[in-house]
Amino acid sequence: MPARIIDGKQIAADLRADLAREAAALRERGLVPGLTVILVGEDPASVIYTRNKQQVAAELGYKSELIRLPATTTQDELLELIARLNADPTVHGILIQSPLPPGLDEEFIFSQVHPDKDVDGFHPVNVGRLWTGQKGLVPCTPAGIMHMLRVTGIDPKGLRAVVVGRSNIVGKPMAALLLNAHATVTLCHSRTRDLPAVCREADILVAAVGRARMITADYVKPGAVVIDVGVNKVPGTKNKIVGDVDFEPVAEVAGHITPVPGGVGPMTIAQLMKNTLIAARRAWG
Ligand code: GUN
């Protein structure tokens, strides 16, 4: 296997350790980064995700709070809570776990979080800032991928980058970040013609489609950097997950590759913690 493995678990652990040190230094000066996570309803996966986020924030020494609300919560009640958190100077990051129960207008609710506390980077103001190259908050998964590239010594400047998948959470912001880093970017999707040929042009190939092992070796230029965002359950297994990349054969061709699990996944929460620290510092001035 010629490809070098990009170890997301290790990179995320290193980032968390750096953030814990930074948080301790800020605390000495009287600033404690604050993250509030809101979970509405009982979706089992969301219960686990939100608990993890709350716990990691606490481990880093942040002021960390998980607010759990019943699925019967009204839109007005949720908006009232958001308004209170927007006004609370000890809360620097607000994360509302998606999906929200039916009857709540997710798009509108997310737009009511103050953009400077929007640690998900989903607010239209932050989307606009990202695409115009202004300082804002950036969605955690693509921002975490840029961190992985940076610490691995991969500079996108001048390279051809191909992103497969055009979601608002990963594909589009990933394309913007690579563009801001001076890559030449192609954003592909389900209607792209001759996808393998387009992908074979990539020096950096990011797969975020949600289809198990779809990216096979014939999509990959020898030596390319392959980043796998996919998290796909394997039918008939208990908890086995695979990425969007057909790992073993692609690793024979690629120069660098992220595994699943242990690649991009661990970066997302670590980057959420970084976004919270960034928001706290900016709020402080
Ligand atoms: N649900 C699944 N992933 C995410 C995420 O990154 N942010 C939020 N708010 N909800 C999610």
Domains in the chain, please, with CATH? 30-116 (3.40.50.10860), 140-265 (3.40.50.720)
97 close to ligand 1 (CB < 6 Angstrom): yes
| Binding positions for NADP(+) | 165-167, 231
Classify burial at 231, counting beta carbons within 10 Å of its beta carbon; exposed 0-12, middle 13-18, buried 19 or more: middle
The two tokens of residue 254 are 């690629």
Site to substitute for ligand 1 among 95, 106, 145, 174, most atoms within 8 A of C-beta = 95
Query: Three-state SS across the chain?
Result: CCCEECCHHHHHHHHHHHHHHHHHHHHHCCCCCEEEEEEECCCHHHHHHHHHHHHHHHHCCCEEEEEEECCCCCHHHHHHHHHHHHHCCCCCEEEECCCCCCCCCHHHHHHCCCHHHECCCCCHHHHHHHHCCCCCCCCHHHHHHHHHHHHHCCCCCCCEEEEECCCCCCHHHHHHHHHHCCCEEEEECCCCCCHHHHHCCCCEEEECCCCCCCECHHHCCCCCEEEECCCEECCCCCCCEECCECHHHHHCCCCEECCCCCCCHHHHHHHHHHHHHHHHHHHHC
Kindly report the protein residue whose alpha carbon is nearest to atom 2 of ligand 1.
98
191 CA to middle of ligand 1, Å? 26
Return the pLDDT at 216: 98
Kindly report the protein residue whose alpha carbon is nearest to atom 9 of ligand 1.
97
Return the pLDDT at 272: 98
Cα–Cα dist 285/281, whole Å:
6
Which positions are annotated as active-site residues? 53, 97, 120
120 close to ligand 1 (CB < 6 Angstrom): yes
Kindly report the protein residue whose alpha carbon is nearest to atom 1 of ligand 1.
98
Kindly report the protein residue whose alpha carbon is nearest to atom 8 of ligand 1.
97
125 CA to middle of ligand 1, Å? 18
96 close to ligand 1 (CB < 6 Angstrom): yes
Q: What's phi and psi for 2, nearest 5 deg? A: -70, -25
95 close to ligand 1 (CB < 6 Angstrom): yes
Q: For residues 266 and 12, is the Cβ–Cβ distance under 8 A?
A: yes
242 CA to middle of ligand 1, Å? 20
Return the pLDDT at 41: 98
Residues in the chain where the model's pLDDT stays below 70: none
248 CA to middle of ligand 1, Å? 29
